[in-house]
Chain A
Amino acid sequence: MDLFIHQVLAGLATGAIYACMALAVVMIYQAIDHFNFAQGEMAMFSTFIAWQLMQWGFPYWAAFFVTIGISFAAGVLIERAIFRPIHDAPILSHVVIFIALFVIINSFAGFIWEFTIKAFPSPFGTKPVLGEGLLSAHDAGMMAVVGIVLLLLYGFFRYTRIGLAMRAAAANPDSAKLVGVRVGWMLALGWGMAAAIGAVAGMMIAPVVFLEPNMMLSILLYGFAGAVVGGLTSPVGAVLGGFSVGVVENLAGTFIPYFGSEMKLSIALALIVAVLMVRPSGIFGRKVVTRV
């Protein structure tokens, strides 16, 4: 039983990482209706910017907020410069652009900062809070940050005019345009917010997995898995989904011989397929109804 509780807590700690990523994935999905395969690389690049700022002598929190600002601007810029001109191109072309962004960002990060592994500081310290090696202060801090981001998002979408406009633009672009919502700019705003959340996720994840250009590769998959499990239409679901993926992964690694330790990614795959088969819209997602 002790081992079980231990593993659940450890799972929650890794789950917090996936929850961060899943939240960013769902945000961009809400705004643009596609999966952004470059999301992980964008987060990685933002984290490098924060690292660079700290190397230049910025204190942690200053670097944190400046990075969020820069990422937001960069997200808006990407939408304006690259996606606006091909707005009417087929979806497949969009996916190719995501892939292109992926290699471009990865290549530039490697070129500027090289592929060596770098340590990234944690603002919460690494002392254990709940017994030896169970839950570190950083893990707890990370969960708190995810909670705060979630609350802010909820407040933004629920109580502000611009949040309402963004939801309208995503749900029904044509009608939104008719009532005076500037749909194009709402898209850009969605990109900016997704990039900013990605930056937060990256900066929270980096102290655990270390900073290097390929750090996000497998985390992105777990993030997708979390988002799908929770439901792509629900930020709360995505966060809970991320946590549950972390817990399942850890428990499987401990209690299923052979399989768990070597096939972690395959477990994420099995989880995605299983949830999609039983409940295609995710556990917390709304079912999207389309008119025939």
Chain B
Amino acid sequence: MKTDTPTAMLDAQDNASSNAGMWRLLIALGLLAFLIGLPLLSKNFFVFQLTLAMVYAIAILGLNLLTGFNGQFSLGHGAFYAIGAYTAAILMDQGGISYIWTIPAAGMICFVAGFLFGLPALRLEGTYLALATFALAVAMPQILKFSPLEHWTGGVQGIVILKPDAPFGLPISQDQWLYYFTLVTLILMFAFAYNLVGSRTGRAMKAIRDNPTAAKAMGINLSLFKSLTFGVSALYVGVAGALSAIVVQFVAPDSFTFALSVILFVGLVVGGVGWIPGAFFGALFILFVPHFAEGISKGLAGAVYGIMLILLIFIMPSGAAGLLKLLLDRFAIVRRLIEGLSGRKR
């Protein structure tokens, strides 16, 4: 049979791409089944850790939208995480509002806060923006401790909130319920991110990242889109913050220091900048590697962690995304070789 006529080749390509789509769907479904089944088979503490990992994944995704798709740096997203967490805690503690509604509220407040902070900040480029956001993150704990606000924020003490029970009398523990709640939020947020990046707005974001001058010439309103992206990114991080407040049951100024912003940033780079699923790898890294480092040496945990970080950057300068791409490329080369060989035999 002759297969190299143009139409046949197109068919083959079509087949291949639909095959790839099919594979992707299968992988996604398998992953989903795995994620749903996991908490039923593991201990409560592990379920709690996984929930936290998903919370981090949402936050890193938000940071990725800003850095990976719009080319702006932020070392201060811990501040928006704090705003989200405090919004949820104050609404639940003082407003008596159900935890479910605190999440969109935190998202909206952070969107506005991010948009407003982004408005002046978009005049800044690269390093300068990183610096302004760095200052924001460092100043955040002080603002939260500010005594005239103490009535709402609880000052240094912070706020303790109660863990919600599973609704409808479901026979699962609180931790398991929060796991599923976070999982649903996570899926919604990721779906939104995929659609956003693929949309007209997403293309505008990427155009600004790749060449601001050309983007401007094409009629893209730079300042509007940059602030909007900053707002959306803050929204994601705020939602993650609100979830973390509910999951951890506690907010206090000193949980939101500059270190938190740094942790999110490390997660972003480790996962891979500009690659949406990278958020998962980043989240797992920032959650489990510090424990691992502490296991190696208690006194030098920081040093072990830092050295691992340096090695990681040396081995895969562009994060998990780069490594995966490299592996796939190798795989493709091998496959092509095999195909070539078998083709010759035929």
Contacts and interface: CB of A to CB of B under 8 A. Distances in A.
A39 to B, nearest CB: 13
B132 A90 contact: no
Contact of B265 (A85, A95, A264, A265): A95
A110 B301 CA distance: 11
B346 interface: no
Contacts of B313: 86, 89, 93, 96-97, 100
A201 to B, nearest CB: 19
A277 interface: yes
B301 A100 contact: no
B337 to A, nearest CB: 29
A82 B306 contact: no
Contacts of B318: 89-90, 93
B128 A276 contact: yes
Contact of B135 (A89, A92, A272): A272
Contact of A104 (B130, B131, B273, B307): B307
- The DSSP consensus for interface residues of chain B is helix
B77 to A, nearest CB: 14
Interface string B317-340: 110000000000000000000000
Contact of A93 (B123, B130, B302, B317): B317
Contacts of B300: 107-108, 111
B136 interface: yes
A265 B131 contact: no
A276 B124 contact: yes
B45 interface: no
Contact of B262 (A99, A268, A273): A99
A3 interface: no
A111 B299 contact: yes
Given A93-B269, A95-B265, A272-B131, A221 B302 contact: no
29 contacts: A35-B127, A85-B314, A86-B314, A96-B270, A97-B309, A99-B262, A99-B265, A99-B309, A100-B309, A102-B306, A103-B302, A103-B303, A104-B310, A107-B300, A107-B302, A107-B305, A110-B299, A111-B300, A111-B303, A221-B135, A225-B135, A262-B146, A263-B143, A265-B135, A269-B139, A273-B121, A276-B131, A277-B123, A280-B123
